[in-house]
Amino acid sequence: MTEFLTAAFYKFVELPDFAQLKAPLLACCEANDVKGTILLATEGINSTIAGPAVGVHAVLAYLRRDPRLADLQHKEARSAKAPFYRMKVRLKREIVTMGVPGIDPTLVVGTYVKPQDWNALIGDPDVVLIDTRNNYEVGIGSFAGAVNPDIQSFAMLPQWLAQAPALHPATGKKPKVAMFCTGGIRCEKSTALLRAQGFDEVFHLEGGILKYLETIPPEQSLWQGQCFVFDERVSVGHGLLPGQHDLCRACRQPLDDAELASPLFEAGVSCPKCHAITRDIQKDSARERQRQWELAKARQQVHIGASPEPKAKPATAGACNATL
């Protein structure tokens, strides 16, 4: 059975030439049969990629040849199922979109807290614990006692922070704040924002939920539920083992067993979360897409992410030999 290695990484670093990095980086990934998404912006890099271990490590080594990325850290997980079907390198304004000008995590950021010290911090009753993720992510798991901002995108978080009663008590004294997210990148920006707004005691979980689940044994854990991930695993639990959730291909939200059993669930078309908000024409289009996918699967063909003209792979990973 083929085993896939998934590597997640990000770094805030000045990359003024980020647009010129796209083509050689994409070529390196394709030469090594690596798939996933890499985001590039002037503020840095953000990515999750997967493929054969040797290929993923070749791409990471290629990235680290750039002195600006020499200390790039990554997290690993393994699975029997391909986490991605395509390889995309995208140019963005921000590697995680918050939409607040002037926020630079390389200049000021919250205090990093290692997973083994996290329980003690959030056990402090004076700490305001904030889950910075989207509502559908929070819905399948979070830390006990965490505040859910009930947001649909990270760009909505700044407005919520500006109005949250827990952050602006009647006494006027700014509270101690702890924030967390999936891999750590959203907390880099959210804690930088609070620091810029005069919050002195701001902390965030180093490596995010994924590092916590990888590091902390279940019997010592304060995590409840599963952690949503943006790939075909859908969710993971302690030890980063794949969870029990599936994904609605229409709205891209995680589904549990009860939602999969709902009469409103139709594979590839709708689920209880989106059935009422999609039009019939959208459902019909999704049904045809699902039919084509099922035909391709029955014929043992790749449908999602297939290239019209298969590219000949080089005998060696030559596309990764040049310096980024």
CA gap 16, 41 in Å, rounded: 8
From 181, 187, 248, 271, active-site residue: 181
Rg of the chain on CA atoms, in Å: 21
**Sign for the pseudo-dihedral over CA of 46, 51, 54, 59:** negative
- Closest by CA to 288, choosing from 249, 234, 246, is 249
Q: Are strands 111-113 and 127-131 parallel, antiparallel or unpaired?
A: unpaired
CA gap 273, 165 in Å, rounded: 29
29 is catalytic: no
Task: Report which DSSP code applies to 130.
Answer: E
Residue 11 corresponds to which tokens in the numbers above?
Answer: 């770094």
Residue 158 corresponds to which tokens in the numbers above?
Answer: 């700044």
Residues 227 and 141 sit within 8 Å (Cβ to Cβ): yes
* The residue to which tokens 């099922």 are assigned: 294
Helices (H), the chain: 18-31, 53-64, 115-122, 135-138, 157-163, 185-196, 208-215, 257-260, 280-298
Which residues form the catalytic set?
181
